[in-house]
Amino acid sequence: MGTDELIQQLIGLIRKESAVINLYDLVLDAVVDFELKDKLFLFQNDHKRHLEIILDLLNNIDVNNVDRMDLMISNGKDEEFRSQSQALGELAVKEKELNRLYKDILEEDVDSKSAEILDDNLEDEQQHIRFLEQFS
């Protein structure tokens, strides 16, 4: 994969991670079980960590014209979930989409450093999905 293509893939990943972080805020508002809420909060922190790691990776590739704020998705807190079940279902869908995006990028010929970083993030993502599947 060329540098420009990798940059575009990483930008897409940053935007998706940002959207999932915002979705976690909505889901956490809908969840009533405190133990579940704690686990989801940890998963949201994984996404925040992934976001920072990918931003660092993008900066190391020498992106001069990318403004960090242009990459983020605004927090559209207008939406609410009617139930904990609905919230967890939507979260599972978005986690699977994010998982697929990581896998798609890793199937490309990316440099070993980027692949290692993205693979570590993917392991967390797969853990999130395994956990959320118990609620579907």
Portion of the chain with pLDDT greater than 90, in percent: 59
Q: What is the pLDDT of residues 76-89, one digit of tens each?
A: 555 677 788 888 99
Determine what percent of the chain falls in helix, strand and coil, rounding each to the nearest 5.
75, 0, 25
* Residue 136: pLDDT band with limits 50, 70, 90: confident
The least confident of 61-65, 92-96, 110-114, 129-133 is 61-65
What pTM does this model have?
Answer: 0.86
Structure letter (DSSP) for residue 108: S
- pLDDT recorded at residue 115: 93
The average pLDDT across 33-61 equals 93
Contact indicator for 17, 52 with CB cutoff of 8 Å: no
Contact indicator for 31, 87 with CB cutoff of 8 Å: yes
pLDDT of 7 above 70: yes
- If you compute the radius of gyration of the chain from its CA atoms, what whole number of angstroms results? 15
Helix (H) or strand (E) holding 78: none
Alpha carbons 45 and 113: distance in angstroms, whole number:
23
Each domain of the chain, given as residue ranges in start order, spans: 3-133
* Residue 110: pLDDT band with limits 50, 70, 90: confident
Contact indicator for 104, 16 with CB cutoff of 8 Å: no
Alpha carbons 43 and 59: distance in angstroms, whole number:
24
- Which class does domain 3-133 fall in? mainly alpha
